[in-house]
Amino acid sequence: MTHRVVRLGFGLLFLLVQLGCNDIVTPPPSGGRGGGSGGGGIDVCSDEGGPAVAITLPTPAADPNTDTLVTKPNLTVECAVTATEALVDDTTVQITVGDAAGATETPTVVNNGDGTFSASLELGSYPNGSLTVACEASDSSAERLCSSATVMTFLDLGPSVVILAPDDGSVQAGGMDVEFTITADPVSDSDNLAEPDLAGTGSLIVAGARITNIVSEEGVLIGTVDFDGPLYETALNGDYEFSVSVANGRGVTRLETRSFTVDAAGPTINIVEPELASIIAGATDVIAEITDPSGVDASTVRYRILAQGSSQEFSMTPVGGTNRYRGSFDANQYPETIGQITINVTAADLAGNDTTKELSVQLDSLPPLLDMDPPTVREAQEEMTGQICSSAFDPVGAEAANDATVLGPVPSFRARIEDRTNRVSAISGVNKDDVQVYILDDQTQALLIDTDSDGVCDSINPDFLPNNPAGNQPAVVIDMTSVAASGNAYFQELSPLLTLPFPYDGAPFCFGGDNGNGTGNATEPPDEVCLATTLTRVIPDNTDPDGLRPAIFGRAPLTALRCIGDRFDFPGAGISPGFACVAARATDNGGNESVSSPLRVCLDDALGGSDCPAGIGGAFAPAFTCTDGCSVSALDFVEADPDTGKVLNSRLIGPFQ
C-alpha cells in the first residue's frame, strides 16, 4: 500500500516529539508561502485505512454571493483527527493553506488535546480570491497510513486600496496631498458584491480628522490636508498617522494606514565656533552643527555678519560625514571703531522651515604694541587722600639697548609689549610664546616692511628670515620670554611747594596724598629686582586691572642674576661690528602681528674692530631707517594724547587692584 504527502516546495523534515495536550506540533520549515500544485497548490494524501480527518473551520464556500467567506485577516483553522485502524501520530498533523495563485503556507499546529488540532495565520498579504485549506495526519502503524481533508472557500479582505503618496514615514510641513486609488477586488468572476461603497463607507482620516476635500484625477483620488487650518484645534507638529478605508457590498472593509511626521519647526542650530562672547581676530572659522528630522537643505545654510549697521552674508559648506557646516572670514577687516559683531547662522530644512541662530563676539583686530626703547613711566597708587605717582623710570631698565646708541659686545635687548584691542574691554593678550628680536647687520637693507600698504611697518622683511626663499643672509633671531611683574616703584617725596610736571599734575592723575601734590613719602629708592639691572620695579601689562599679566620681555633664559633677561653676545653669534638694525616682533593670541620701532645701533666689539661714530654707550645720529619707507611711530607707546594732553595708559601705570 502506498500513500502521498503534501508537496509544498520545501524539504519535509519533521521533528518527531511526543506531545501532550495543547502541545505544539512543529511542522517542517516552510520558509513562508511557496508554490504548490493541485487544488490551491496543495497535494493531499488518501491512504485507505488512515485516520479520519475533517476540517471544522473554515467552512466551505462555493457561491461568493450567498455562502460565508473568510473576511478577516486573522484565520484560525481547526481540524479533527480520529484514529481508525491504528493510533494517530499527533506529530504528523499538518495544516496547509493555499491562495488563488498557488502559493502555500504551513503554519504551526497546536494539539488541542481533544482530538482536534488548530493553526492560526495572518492573511493580510494574501490576495482576494479562492482559498484552499488542507489538513492531513498519519497513524502510528508501520505503514504510516496517511489521510487528509480539504476545504475550498474564498478570501475577501475588501476593496483594493493603494496609497500612492506620500510614502510611509514621510516628513511634511504645512499640509500634504494624499493620493490613492480604490477599486473593486472580486474573489471570483461571479462576485457581485465586490464593488466599493465609496459614498457610504469611503473615508480618509488624517491625524484623527476626516478629510472631505477629495477630488478625482484620472482615476486617482487626491485628498488635500491643511495642517494649520480649522480641522485641527492646534497646528500639527510631530508624529501622526493617516488611513484610507472603504467597504464593499459584502460589508468587508479594507483599511490602509501610513505614518507621517509634521515638521513645523526649522532646524536645530548650534554654533560651535566661535563661542559666545569670545574674542576673535584674523582668520576666523564659523562652524555650526545643524540637525533636523526632515533633513537640512544644505543650499540654504548661510551665515551673516552684522557690524554697526552693515551686513555681509556668506555661504557655509558641509563638513563631510557630520552634521557640521563651516565658513570663514577675516575678522581684521573691521576698523578698530567696531568692537563687537553679531554672527547669524540661518538654515532651512527639506520641509521649508527655516531657523536663525545668533551670537555676539568681541573683536580684537589690533596687534600688540611693542617698543624696545619705550618712554619712561610712572606708577600710580591709590591713597586715602588721593592718588600718588612714583618717580619716572625706564620700564625696560636703563641698561637695556636704546635707539641711536653704540652698543658693547654683550648688550641687553628688552621690550615692553602690551596687547591692544578694539573699543571693548575684551582683549586676547600677547602670545608669550611668539616674541622674537631680529638683528640685521646691514643698515642698507629694510628689516621692517609694510605688507598692507597703509604706510605703517607691520612685519619683518621675509627676505631676511631664516630659510628665506631669496637666499639672503638671514637676520639673527633671539627668542624672548616674558618677565613676571615684581618689585616696587620709587614713590619719592617732593616738597609741597613742588608739583609733578605736566601732564601728570592735577586730577585725575597725581594729586593729593600726604604731601598734597600727588607724591609719596619715600626717601630711599627700593632695592633692584636683581643684580644685573637698575630696575626696582618690573611693570605688568597696564591693561590688566589685577596687575598680573606680563608686559616686559627679555632674552631667555631668565636666571636669578639676570632675572629680566640674559645678555646677547653679538660677536659670538657671528654678527660683524658696525651699524645694525634691531626690531622686535610679536603676535597676540588672536594672531594679530606687529613689530616695534627699529633700534638703529652701532655694534662695537670693544676690540677695535668697529667704526662706530661714538664710544660704547654714546649716542649718534643715524642716517638710515631700517625700513622700506614705512613708519612705526603710530605703534609706539607715546607720552600723551596730542589732542587732549592727557596721559595715556601706556605712560601711567596702575593703580592695580
DSSP sequence for 1-28: --------SS----------TT-EEPPP
Q: Which residue has the higher pLDDT, 316 or 29?
A: 316
Burial classification of residue 500, based on how many CB atoms lie within 10 Å of its CB (0-12 exposed, 13-18 middle, 19 or more buried): buried
Q: Which of 333, 299, 327 is nearest to 313 (CA)?
A: 327
283 pLDDT band (50/70/90 cuts)? confident
Q: Which helix (H) or strand (E) holds 201?
A: helix 198-201
* DSSP of 550-602: B-EEEESPP-SSSTT-----TTTTTPPSEEEEEEEEEEETT--EEEPPPEEEE
426 pLDDT band (50/70/90 cuts)? low
Mean pLDDT value across residues 137-164: 96
542 pLDDT band (50/70/90 cuts)? confident
- The three cell numbers locating residue 479: 627668542
Burial classification of residue 642, based on how many CB atoms lie within 10 Å of its CB (0-12 exposed, 13-18 middle, 19 or more buried): exposed
642 pLDDT band (50/70/90 cuts)? low
Predicted local confidence at residue 28, as pLDDT: 42
- The three cell numbers locating residue 335: 576698523
Mean pLDDT value across residues 547-568: 94
Q: Which of 486, 480, 460 is nearest to 560 (CA)?
A: 486
Top-confidence range, 244-253, 259-268, 307-316, 361-370: 244-253
Give me the percent of the chain exceeding a pLDDT of 90: 67
Burial classification of residue 66, based on how many CB atoms lie within 10 Å of its CB (0-12 exposed, 13-18 middle, 19 or more buried): exposed
CA 137 to CA 284: how far, in whole Å? Answer: 81
Predicted local confidence at residue 648, as pLDDT: 62
Residue-wise pLDDT for 571-630, tens only, equals 999 999 999 999 999 998 888 899 999 999 999 999 887 789 999 999 999 999 999 999
Instruction: List all residues 6 or more positions away from 66 whose beta carbon is below 8 Å from its beta carbon.
Output: none
Predicted local confidence at residue 367, as pLDDT: 86
Is residue 11 predicted with pLDDT exceeding 70? no
B/e letters for 519-546, b = 16+ CB within 10 Å, e = fewer, are bbeeeebeeebbebbebbbbbbbbbbee
CB 600, CB 404: distance < 8 Å: yes
Mean pLDDT value across residues 511-538: 92
Top-confidence range, 30-34, 384-388, 638-642: 384-388
CA 70 to CA 80: how far, in whole Å? Answer: 20
8 pLDDT band (50/70/90 cuts)? very low
Q: Which of 464, 479, 480 is nearest to 628 (CA)?
A: 464
> How far from chain centre, in Å, is Cα 251?
56
Domains and CATH numbers, the chain: 24-155 (2.60.40.10), 160-262 (2.60.40.10), 272-363 (2.60.40.10), 396-486+534-635 (no CATH)
Mean pLDDT value across residues 295-308: 94
Give me the percent of the chain exceeding a pLDDT of 70: 90
Is residue 563 predicted with pLDDT exceeding 90? yes
Predicted local confidence at residue 640, as pLDDT: 55
CA 149 to CA 630: how far, in whole Å? Answer: 109
199 pLDDT band (50/70/90 cuts)? very high
Question: At 463, is the secondary structure helix, strand, or coil?
Answer: helix
Residue with cell 536663525: 356
Predicted local confidence at residue 10, as pLDDT: 22
Residue-wise pLDDT for 356-379, tens only, equals 999 999 988 888 889 999 999 999
Predicted local confidence at residue 391, as pLDDT: 93
Mean pLDDT value across residues 248-258: 97
| Tally of CB atoms within 10 A around 497 | 8
Instruction: List all residues 6 or more positions away from 416 whose beta carbon is below 8 Å from its beta carbon.
Output: 370, 371, 374, 395, 396, 539, 551, 552, 553, 637
Q: Which of 242, 231, 245, 232 is nearest to 169 (CA)?
A: 242
CB 120, CB 75: distance < 8 Å: yes
Is residue 5 predicted with pLDDT exceeding 50? no
Burial classification of residue 74, based on how many CB atoms lie within 10 Å of its CB (0-12 exposed, 13-18 middle, 19 or more buried): exposed
Predicted local confidence at residue 425, as pLDDT: 62
CA 166 to CA 178: how far, in whole Å? Answer: 6
Predicted local confidence at residue 14, as pLDDT: 25
CB 191, CB 284: distance < 8 Å: no
Predicted local confidence at residue 383, as pLDDT: 86
- How many residues belong to the chain? 657
**Mean pLDDT over the full length of the chain:** 88
Predicted local confidence at residue 177, as pLDDT: 97
Predicted local confidence at residue 657, as pLDDT: 61
Predicted local confidence at residue 416, as pLDDT: 96
CA 584 to CA 480: how far, in whole Å? Answer: 9
Instruction: List all residues 6 or more positions away from 431 whose beta carbon is below 8 Å from its beta carbon.
Output: 586, 587, 588, 589
Q: Which of 434, 429, 426 is nearest to 275 (CA)?
A: 426
Predicted local confidence at residue 97, as pLDDT: 96
CB 240, CB 176: distance < 8 Å: no
CB 15, CB 26: distance < 8 Å: yes
171 pLDDT band (50/70/90 cuts)? confident
The DSSP call for residue 199 is H
